[in-house]
Amino acid sequence: MPKKSKVRKDYQDFIDRRSFLVDENRTERIAKRKAKKRRTARENISDLCDTGSFLEIGALTVAAQRSRRDYQDLIKSTPGDGLICGIGTINGDRYCESKSSCCILSYDYTVLAGTQGAFNHKKTDRIIEIAKSSMRPVVFYVEGGGGRPGDVDCDLISLGGLNIPTFVEYARLSGKVPRIAIVAGYCFAGNASIAGCSDVIIATENSNMGMGGPAMIEGGGLGSFHPSQIGKATDLYKKGVIDILVKDETEATAVTKLYLSYFQGADSSWTCPDQSALRSVIPENRKFAYDVKKVIQTLVDTDSYLELRGGYGRNMVTGFCRIEGRPYGIIANSTRHLGGAVDSIAADKVSRFMQLCDAFGIPILSLCDAPGFMVGPDTELEGLVRRSSRLYITGASLQVPIITVFLRKAYGLGAMAMCGGSTHEPLLSLAWPSAEFGAMGIEGAVKLGFKKELEEAASEEGKEALFDKLVDAAYQKGKAIEAASMFEFDEVIDPADTRKWICSAMANHQLKANPNRTIDSW
């Protein structure tokens, strides 16, 4: 019978030290976490990463408080200095290692409330450096209370902690690698700043986020508040701060995997709905609104659509999808809100989304049903002149192609903005038979252009009949099959063939990321 080999002391010391990192050995703190029906940082990372792929960095660090606390207590109570980070693969079963390898970080709320300590800042900086040099996406669970005032070991090095590179270096990753922030629970101050610098924020419904937590607010003489009263996720979602609102951390992690997949390449396994349904999805009555998301979900690969900022600027839809497995960014007017007109909020929303697509080489599909820009005195006070122009400036600077499909209305400057600047700016501009074109909305054009004739009508009935006649004549002149005769756009197509046209247009395009593009925080 072979002798049992003796474990070397140095190896045993290594095993003993790492035992303080394991959730099962931290029963008291983990029990408190579970009592709140929350997952631990390690559970989230385990769920996010492919099995056995996560390699942790800086696990043995402790809080910079040796001058005020017992070292063994720090080992037990502050494992990793409240930050778990490393490298792992995500979606590796579908994509090659170079596409699936990511940098993953998570503040650990069971350690000093997930605050940003001196050494976890150094760990964050190291992971950012790795992400930058190897072009790996970053996934960051950012729950926590911001900067930590109790790290006294560093007082002689930095008086105010203002000379750390974490925030500027993370910001420098903008447009270089995809960056996802996941918010669950409380996220304040420095933690929230990391979220705000990210490309996308995924948050749970019961989370709270703000640049100042309760202590900072009260310290500034602004009152006393419970953390749950500050920056409620459901409110921030409506304000455009949060891109995707989910039920819990499990769903947040699943959505993170889906979001990352669009940046990991084509998916050879796909199906799609019956495309003949697109022939009847637009109402025959041109005045009726409809759900453009149903159009999107019919057009794209099954279960491939992910909407961003759905609670904000609802007259415009933005999100990612796939068509025959290839990722696309999609923008669309929603006629259920402001008739699909483009206002300041929608312009901001779409412009930033275009930047996101352009930075990472994802082509843009635009579904246009635009009655124009939103107008009126109140609208102008929102800065429409400047904010609407972002669509033209961003569109003019895109390196990725746009394919525009005119579903129905294509009027004036708003429709041109949906094309990247003009109807011949896209790689391909297509129209469904339901589309209609003009310099401005038909009814408004008739009222302005035929004001004298309408005023001279003998009666209200005669005025109404004349108006209807003029509108019908203008519509006949501007409908898709007539506008095509003037080569206003490339072609009128059978809606059921839309996917075929898109895939044919993109067949020879080898898309590349735009290395000079940064993405606005807003």
pLDDT for res 445: 60
| 213: nearest Cα among 78, 121, 116 | 116
pLDDT tens digits, 53-70: 999 999 999 999 999 999
Buried b (16+ CB within 10 A) or exposed e, 227-245: beebbbbeebbbebbbbbb
- Listed range (108-112, 146-150, 328-332, 358-362) with the worst mean pLDDT: 146-150
Non-local CB neighbours of 187 within 8 Å, separated by 6+ positions: 142, 143, 144, 195, 207, 208, 209, 210
Measured in whole angstroms, the distance separating CA 141 from the mean position of its chain's CA atoms is 15
443 phi, psi to nearest 5 deg: -60, -45
Measured in whole angstroms, the distance separating CA 36 from the mean position of its chain's CA atoms is 28
pLDDT for res 312: 97
pLDDT for res 167: 95
Name the pLDDT band for 1 (thresholds 50, 70, 90). low
Contact 453, 466 (CB under 8 A): yes
pLDDT tens digits, 28-54: 999 999 999 999 999 999 999 999 999
The average pLDDT across 171-198 equals: 97
Buried b (16+ CB within 10 A) or exposed e, 276-309: eebeebbeeeeeeebebbebbbbbbbeebbbbbb
pLDDT for res 502: 98
DSSP summary character for residue 266: -
CATH of domain 275-435+479-506: 3.90.226.10
What CA–CA distances, in Å, run from 220 to 64, 217, 224, 232?
Answer: 27, 5, 10, 21
**How many residues can be counted in the chain?**
522
pLDDT for res 457: 72
Contact 90, 136 (CB under 8 A): no
Whose structure tokens read 């607010």?
Answer: 217
Contact 434, 290 (CB under 8 A): no
In degrees, to the nearest 5, what angle opens at C-alpha 147 toward C-alphas 145 and 150? 105
**E strands present in 412-474:** 428-431, 436-438
pLDDT for res 22: 93
Measured in whole angstroms, the distance separating CA 50 from the mean position of its chain's CA atoms is 23
pLDDT exceeds 90 at position 151: no
Contact 319, 286 (CB under 8 A): no
103 pairs with which residues across the strands? 87, 138
pLDDT for res 219: 84
Say which CATH topology domain 35-261 has.
2-enoyl-CoA Hydratase; Chain A, domain 1 (3.90.226)
Rounded Cα distance between 448 and 475, Å, is 16
pLDDT exceeds 60 at position 496: yes
- What is the number of other CB atoms lying within 10 angstroms of the CB of residue 339? 18
Domain locations in the chain as residue ranges: 35-261, 275-435+479-506, 440-478
- Identity (one letter) of the amino acid at 54? F
**E strands present in 343-401:** 364-370
Contact 29, 22 (CB under 8 A): no
Outline where 233-338 has alpha helix (H): 233-238, 249-261, 292-299
Whose structure tokens read 């309408």?
Answer: 454
pLDDT for res 446: 63
Non-local CB neighbours of 340 within 8 Å, separated by 6+ positions: 292, 315, 316, 333, 334, 369, 370, 371, 409
Structure tokens at 204: 């749970």
What percentage of the chain reaches a pLDDT higher than 90? 78
Contact 416, 424 (CB under 8 A): no
pLDDT for res 447: 66
Quick check: do 35-261 and 275-435+479-506 share a fold? yes
pLDDT exceeds 80 at position 284: yes
Rounded Cα distance between 124 and 169, Å, is 10
Name the pLDDT band for 254 (thresholds 50, 70, 90). very high
- What is the number of other CB atoms lying within 10 angstroms of the CB of residue 65? 23
330 pairs with which residues across the strands? 319, 365
Contact 124, 95 (CB under 8 A): no
Mean pLDDT of the chain: 92
